[in-house]
Amino acid sequence: MRQESTFKPDARSPAAARGLMQQTIDTAMKYNVKAGYPNLRPEDLYDPQINITIACENIADLQNQFGGMYEPVAASYNGGDDNAARWLSHSKPKEPGIFASEVGFAETKDYVFKVMRNYRIYKQLYDDNLNRK
DSSP-assigned states of every residue in 86-100: HHHHHSSS--HHHHH
Helices (H) and strands (E) in the chain, counts: 7, 0
Give Cβ neighbours of residue 67 (< 8 Å, ≥ 6 apart). none
pLDDT at 15: 86
**Can you say whether the dihedral through the CA atoms of 98, 104, 109, 110 is positive or negative?**
positive
Task: Tell me the CA distances in angstroms from 15 to 12, 89, 133, one per residue in order.
Answer: 8, 27, 37
Write out the CATH class of domain 1-65: mainly alpha
Q: CA angle, corner 81, sides to 1 and 45, nearest 5?
A: 40
Q: In the chain, where are the structural domains located? A: 1-65, 68-133
pLDDT of the residue at 93: 67
Largest CA distance in the chain: 43
- Which pLDDT tens digits describe the chain residue by residue (133 residues)? 888 999 999 999 988 999 999 999 999 999 999 999 999 999 999 999 999 999 999 999 999 999 889 999 999 999 998 999 999 988 876 788 889 888 999 999 999 999 999 999 999 999 999 999 9
Half-sphere exposure of 120 toward its Cβ, with a 13 Å CA cutoff?
6
> What per-residue confidence (pLDDT) applies to 98?
86
